Amino acid sequence: MIRLAHFSDPHVLSPRVVAPHHLLNKRWLGGANLLLRRRRHHRVEIFQRLLDAIKALDVDHTLCTGDMVNLALETEFERAAKMIQAAFKPDQLTIVPGNHDRYVAAARGAFERHFGAYLPQDIPKSDGVWGYPVVRLLDGVCLIGLCSAVPRGLLSAAGLIGEGQLEAMKALINHPSAQARFRIVMLHHPVMEGEAKRELEDAAALEAALRAAPPELVVHGHNHRFMRQALPEAGVPVLQVASASYTSAKGEAEFNVYEIDDGALRVIRWRHDPIARRFEPIP
């Protein structure tokens, strides 16, 4: 049996006061939201408890589907990278960016600079040039990580994958090294419509590509709550994980554990208990 942990959307905040000149773009709106709401609900100490809980479980590998930071500030990336590096060796975690990791155009490349060790290319591209999708080959599992994060204007959190990534994804799913494994496609934005916004511009094209080359599982984050769906026709499970740092009357932080045994999938949700200050499995 293979055990994988999956977390998303910790939204690690800057430990220092933000300089005014850093807010002369879309960040001013995010900064206002941060002061009014996010700072209360996304807690770094809860994310640290999540990392400690995953380490204690000694899973085979961990997946992160983005939004490591909030405003894509350098101080946020530094803090988040320090936490990740203390918890995981490069071969223990695979990560893809979320829209907050590329919040503004000025932050382009910052995510890859800080988390490059966790962006593997175990099946090299034919042109030899690094790029998304990232690929991780594990014993019995193949992880294919898409980047749906692009800088957007005010009030937009929309994602876009692009035709090049979709074609590469299909080729990777059908690659001989992947076909012998349980194939998991991971990205930040939701694939399908549900209770919350999908916000992926080429979601229909992604669905079509997944039906043409179906993996065994698709996982994502973005909406900060758990959801289980299935891809129409293909029947592929699509799992959304809750936020890794959230706390409010509406819910608490979670992470998922996926147990894969001879192709069969079992999902176990772990939720933060604010009274006990630890993560516990949901019965």
How far does CA 8 lie from the centroid of its chain?
Answer: 5
Torsion-angle region of 127 (φ positive above 0: left; ψ -120 to 50: alpha; else: beta): alpha
* Residue range 167-189, pLDDT digits in tens: 999 999 999 999 999 999 999 99
What is the overall mean pLDDT for the chain? 90
Residue 155: per-residue pLDDT = 63
CATH code for the structural domain at 2-281: 3.60.21.10
Is the CA virtual torsion 70, 76, 81, 82 positive or negative? negative
Q: Which residues are CB-contacts of 24 (< 8 A; sequence separation ≥ 6)?
A: none
pTM of the model: 0.91
Range 12-40 average pLDDT:
54
Q: Which amino acid is at 225?
A: R
- Short-list 66, 70, 83, CA closest to 119: 66
Range 263-273 average pLDDT:
97
Residue 16: per-residue pLDDT = 55
Q: Which residues are CB-contacts of 78 (< 8 A; sequence separation ≥ 6)?
A: 114
Residue 37: per-residue pLDDT = 54
Using 50, 70 and 90 to split pLDDT, how confident is the model at 151? confident
Q: How many angstroms separate the Cα of 186 from the Cα of each of 29, 97, 155, 161, 283?
A: 29, 10, 25, 12, 26
Kind and range of the H or E run holding 33: helix 27-33
Percent of the chain beyond pLDDT 90? 77
* Residue range 229-267, pLDDT digits in tens: 999 888 999 999 999 999 998 899 999 999 999 999 999
- Cis before residue 133, ω within 30 degrees of 0? yes
Burial of 265 (C-beta count, 10 Å sphere; 0-12/13-18/19+) = middle
